[in-house]
């Protein structure tokens, strides 16, 4: 293959990987986009809505999915990870591993496989709060739009009920994992973020109560297509909570956990508070914070929240949360402005836990916070949240910059 024809490999099919892929392909270069999950979209696809406009994730993602579908220069592989990278800038050898693709691309999403499937699996899309059949549609805007069979839970040849019922012979349970060898000119890493493990913050007692949840879990609890199907229900008793507390910097800006600021948690909690107000105008919301760090267009949220009589912003770090006998939660905090210690009984507490980089089992240069260091050389280009926490609009700009850098390497 002529060096100038080698494609760019993009690892991670979140908003940054997708953006880089379409930008590169639309100026004429070949792209290979790989994603470890069975669908593209990354964390954004699980949100109820996203700031600054508070539109649903379909807005923004759907157009990009169409651009991918229509562009023959983009090849994408889901359920796929990189096993090995060798070589150097302009001339990398890459080995990919794809999990068995039991459902083929001629799936019509009729759903008969799920109807007859006797097994269940925890639904990772809803953070395990719900279950799906082992033959399942990952979510209603999944791209690629097709059913998937969870290799871990499927009884395969011992069951085969799904194969028997599929009129389109779109299911083949004898398929194995595949390895693919590639030659690429440059590699963009858009592997993004995951939530900090809240159980490590012992004083906030996340593991001891179902009603203490993280901000990421809250997205699926309040989502119209989420756990409560248009209702916000707390997990202990399926009741609609009347008093909700947000705990900012849960483990962030704390030398014992994450020393850095995750940049998006304040805006995310303001977004959550405003979403609660839309659904439940009378619900009491309190946000405990150290500093309210919002910038740009997100400042509008802060003003809206400050204007809302049922949302209170309390400057003070929550020192402890304990569960009471009635499953409510007692938050203990210091109100910095009044100098008083306060106790607040909430029915649900949402921990604004920070962002940490997703693991990638490849030998990478990391910075002091374990994000991938942007060395500006070497042909491997980290993008967006794989290199530092940032919101969607910054991720998209970062992806465009990464695309430009990658295209200059031949």
* Interacting residue ranges for ligand FAD, rule: CB under 6 A: 11-17, 34-37, 42-44, 47, 50-51, 81, 190-193, 215-216, 219, 264, 268, 271, 355, 358, 360, 384-385, 390-393, 395
Q: In the chain, what is the straight-line distance between the N-terminal and C-terminal CA atoms, in Å?
A: 12
Distance CA 392, CA 299 (A): 16
As measured in angstroms, the least distance from the Cβ of 389 to ligand FAD is 8
Between residues 147 and 246, which has the closer beta carbon with respect to ligand FAD?
246
Instruction: Tell me the longest C-alpha to C-alpha distance in the chain.
Output: 71
As measured in angstroms, the least distance from the Cβ of 230 to ligand FAD is 19
As measured in angstroms, the least distance from the Cβ of 67 to ligand FAD is 16
Between residues 125 and 328, which has the closer beta carbon with respect to ligand FAD?
125
As measured in angstroms, the least distance from the Cβ of 48 to ligand FAD is 9
**Long-range contact set of residues 230-238: C-beta below 8 Å, sequence gap at least 24:** 231/279, 232/276, 232/279, 232/280, 234/210, 234/327, 234/347, 234/348, 235/129, 235/210, 235/211, 236/209, 236/210, 236/211, 236/327, 237/327
As measured in angstroms, the least distance from the Cβ of 132 to ligand FAD is 18
Between residues 220 and 234, which has the closer beta carbon with respect to ligand FAD?
220
**Long-range contact set of residues 333-342: C-beta below 8 Å, sequence gap at least 24:** 333/288, 342/314, 342/316
CB 245 within 8 A of CB 331: yes
- Beta strands (DSSP E) in 317-391 are 318-323, 329-335, 340-346, 348-353, 355-357, 380-382
List of residues 6+ apart from 29 with CB closer than 8 A: 7, 8, 73, 407
As measured in angstroms, the least distance from the Cβ of 225 to ligand FAD is 16
Distance CA 250, CA 354 (A): 7
As measured in angstroms, the least distance from the Cβ of 237 to ligand FAD is 24
CB 230 within 8 A of CB 321: no
Between residues 170 and 399, which has the closer beta carbon with respect to ligand FAD?
399
Between residues 170 and 389, which has the closer beta carbon with respect to ligand FAD?
389
Between residues 117 and 384, which has the closer beta carbon with respect to ligand FAD?
384
Between residues 13 and 138, which has the closer beta carbon with respect to ligand FAD?
13
């Amino acid at each position: 293959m002529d060096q100038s024809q080698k494609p760019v490999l993009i690892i991670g099919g979140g908003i940054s990987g997708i953006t880089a892929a379409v930008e590169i392909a639309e100026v004429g270069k070949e792209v290979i986009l790989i994603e470890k999950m069975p669908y593209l979209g990354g964390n954004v696809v699980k949100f109820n809505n996203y700031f600054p406009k508070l539109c649903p994730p379909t807005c923004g993602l759907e157009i990009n999915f169409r651009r991918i579908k229509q562009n023959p220069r983009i090849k994408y592989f889901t359920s796929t990870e990189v096993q090995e990278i060798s070589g150097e800038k302009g001339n990398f050898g890459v080995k990919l591993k794809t999990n068995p693709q039991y459902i083929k691309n001629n799936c019509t999403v009729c759903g008969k496989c799920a109807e007859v499937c006797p097994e269940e699996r925890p639904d990772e899309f809803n953070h395990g709060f719900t279950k799906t059949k082992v033959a399942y549609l990952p979510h209603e805007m999944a791209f690629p739009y097709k059913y998937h069979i969870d290799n871990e839970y499927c009884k395969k040849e011992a069951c085969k009920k799904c194969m028997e019922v599929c009129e389109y012979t779109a299911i083949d349970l004898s398929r194995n994992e595949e390895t693919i060898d590639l030659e690429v000119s440059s590699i963009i890493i858009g592997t993004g973020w995951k939530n900090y493990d809240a159980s490590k913050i012992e004083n906030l007692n996340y593991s001891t109560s179902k009603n203490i949840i993280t901000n990421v879990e809250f997205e699926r609890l309040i989502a119209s297509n989420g756990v409560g199907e248009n209702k916000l229900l707390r997990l202990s008793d399926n009741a609609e909570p009347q008093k909700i507390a947000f705990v900012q910097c849960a483990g962030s800006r704390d030398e014992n956990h994450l020393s850095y600021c995750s940049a998006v948690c304040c805006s995310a909690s303001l977004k959550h508070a405003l979403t609660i107000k839309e659904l439940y105008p009378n619900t009491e919301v309190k946000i405990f914070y150290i500093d309210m760090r919002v910038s740009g267009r997100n400042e509008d949220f802060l003003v809206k929240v400050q204007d809302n009589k049922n949302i209170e912003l309390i400057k003070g770090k929550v020192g402890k949360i304990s569960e009471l006998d009635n499953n409510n939660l007692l938050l203990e905090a210091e109100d910095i402005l009044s100098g008083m210690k306060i106790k607040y009984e909430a029915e649900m507490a949402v921990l604004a836990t920070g962002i940490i980089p997703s693991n990638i089992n490849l030998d990478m240069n990391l910075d002091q916070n374990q994000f991938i260091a942007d060395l500006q050389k070497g042909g491997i280009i980290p993008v967006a949240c794989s290199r530092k926490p940032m919101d969607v609009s910054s991720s998209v700009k970062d992806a465009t910059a990464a695309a430009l850098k990658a295209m200059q390497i031949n």
